[in-house]
Structure 1
Amino acid sequence: MSRWRRIGAARGGSRGARQLLPLSQLPPLHATDGQACLLSEAQRARLIAQLPPSLSLCAWELLHSTERDGCSLALAYRKLEKAGPTVLLVLDAAGCVFGGFASSSWHVSSHYFGTGESFLFAARPEWAVYPWSAANSHFLLGSPDSIGFGGGGSFGLWLDESFEFGSSGRCDTFANEPLAASRDFRVIACQFWGFNAMHESPHLPHESSPTSPMHAIGEPPRTSRHLSWSGDGSSASRRLMQRT
């Protein structure tokens, strides 16, 4: 099975990514308090091309963010446990933006869960996508004190219960390179985006979904990195970096 490595702007190639949508036709973003997505619209178009086709029509709903909701994994679980597929976006102290697509709802479990539709990606400074390698089925893992993508070697992406620290290493599940500039990183902001089929983009053509890969708590937030965001993902990240 072919695996992605770092993908340059002129190279392309993927596990069946669709043609990029014009920016004017991207599904809308729904978020309260005027928050911006950590991805630029160009980056979001690239990410949408990797999602299951059934989600490419759906509006994005900001389900949980550290800026708005506080830095509590327990609270995030309450919002995400019945949310279905989500995109996790992370901005770290080095200015890198990266994350993962979770094909199943996040919840506390003693076992890995999810499906082979899950994947990891890096958005800044360089775009890369790491789909399932088929080496194992360690897609998603949720515990009371952390969440993680991948396994076998290291977590491909791991965050602690306070959304303050994380790590990213090579894992067999996604055969990924580390997503951040260093293995261990400090988190500036996290966002969990869900998909709302009730608000589909009128511009996007419906398409049939190809065969999917094999399917293989709470307390109030303690802290909140409260920052004001505006503009696209790049300007949102800059404002966060400047005021943290």
Structure 2
Amino acid sequence: VIIFARMAIIVHYVARKDTSSDIKCLSSFILSMMRAVTSAIGVILPLKRYSAKLQIFLFSRRKENVWLDEDDFSDISSIQAEDCVQIDDVWNVLKNQYLLYGGGNTLGVVDGDFGLRPVLSSPLIAALREKLPYALSNDRFWMKYSLLRDGASISSLYQQVGGSMYTIIAIESSDGYIFGSFTTQPWRMNPGYFGNRNSFLWRMVQSRHTPCTSLTEQAALESDIDIFPATGKNECFQFCSKDKLAVGGGKRIHVDRYGTKKLKNKFNGDDSLGLCIDRTLMIGTSTPCSTYMNPCLAGESSKDGSFAIANIEVWALTPCKTIGEAEQMESFTRM
């Protein structure tokens, strides 16, 4: 990357005297090669978060048609847009990264889906990938279900994700909080809990509505996540019925500065569910549970742990390169 950066600087100084289209084409080629190298870094080295930020920065420079100075490469994180970054501008960049630069090895996301703004952005995928079991860390993220794309039907959700062993649920609340789960057994109707302790709950630390002044700042926001692994205190990992889908359970043992509080609501009665989604897919709840010892994932201001769902996605993890190959592999696992 440094070598290509230096090459871009040299071409820039030449371009000050020679404004021919050949020089500009050469500069564009060098920047494209830099993007390709940083994409490779994101796959083969544990630098995925930095790689995602660098790719967003590089694309923003190309989008704005800015000729780079040497100082631009001294501290990438210090470069900001002239105005406050709007979320739609950020998603235009993320759309380009998904469709042209691999999108963190994603399947099932097409051009039309970006009018819906997927919950999982490229920096967020890179951050989650670092927390997965090593055997899955290079798998592709396959969008199996999206509420905005496929409609609010829990039966449709079950039908589309039922054959997937490893899945990530990603929820965006109406307040802009992003959170979800990673689970390790196919979702299926069951009278009791199932799954195993390789699962976890996760959340983005700050709301996506947090103002950002640059694309790199937005990438940093999307990359900052908390992980809540299984504690081993119980085996309440996954629950699936016609009325709700839940991850984590057990009696509430969370203690705050006001003492232990026991939460009752229409979703879970006396029990505490780490993450619960109502059959309407419009509302849910998140409360501290002994399975993962998590806080409320939907933000501090959430009353009784409840939240309104703006969008929900379920992503499967697959080693396959195409959807056709992935579907064929899942057909064998269902037998």
Same fold (TM over 0.5): yes
Partner in structure 2 of residue 6 of structure 1? none
Unpaired segments of 5 or more residues in structure 2?
A: 1-44, 56-101, 207-223, 253-271, 323-335
- TM-score when scaled to structure 2? 0.52
Report which of the two has the higher share of strand. Answer: 1
The reply on whether 1:34 has 2:113 as its aligned counterpart is: yes
SS in 2 for 1:67: helix
- With over 3 angstroms needed to count, the CA separation of the structure-2 counterparts of 1:27 and 1:56, relative to structure 1, is farther
Q: Deviations over 1:113-163 (max 9, x none)?
A: 111111001114162110001111100000111100101121000001111
Partners of 1:58 and 1:199 within 8 A in 2: no
Partners of 2:203 and 2:297 within 8 A in 1: yes
The reply on whether 1:54 has 2:135 as its aligned counterpart is: yes
Structure 1 CA distance, aligned partners of 2:318 and 2:159? 18
Structure 1 CA distance, aligned partners of 2:46 and 2:247? 26
Partners of 2:104 and 2:125 within 8 A in 1: no
Structure label with greater radius of gyration:
2
Partners of 2:104 and 2:126 within 8 A in 1: no
Partners of 2:166 and 2:317 within 8 A in 1: yes
Partner in structure 2 of residue 187 of structure 1? 309
Partner in structure 2 of residue 216 of structure 1? none
Partners of 1:121 and 1:128 within 8 A in 2: yes
SS in 2 for 1:47: helix
SS in 1 for 2:201: strand
* Equivalent of residue 192 in structure 2, options 111, 124, 130: 111
Q: Displacement, 1:58? A: 1.4
Identity over aligned residues, as a percent?
27
The reply on whether 1:137 has 2:259 as its aligned counterpart is: no
* Equivalent of residue 196 in structure 1, options 309, 312, 318: 318
* Equivalent of residue 164 in structure 2, options 71, 83, 104: 83
The reply on whether 1:172 has 2:304 as its aligned counterpart is: no
Equivalent AA in structure 2 for residue 130 of structure 1: F
1:230-241 to structure 2, matched below 5 A, reads none
Q: Deviations over 1:24-49 (max 9, x none)?
A: 68732221333443133222222111
Q: Deviations over 1:73-106 (max 9, x none)?
A: 1111111111111100000111101000011111
SS in 1 for 2:307: strand
Partner in structure 2 of residue 241 of structure 1? none
Q: Displacement, 1:20? A: 4.4
Partners of 1:27 and 1:57 within 8 A in 2: no
The CA RMSD over aligned residues, in Å, is 1.9
SS in 2 for 1:87: strand
Partner in structure 2 of residue 10 of structure 1? none
Equivalent AA in structure 2 for residue 62 of structure 1: M
Partners of 2:113 and 2:149 within 8 A in 1: no
The reply on whether 1:71 has 2:189 as its aligned counterpart is: no
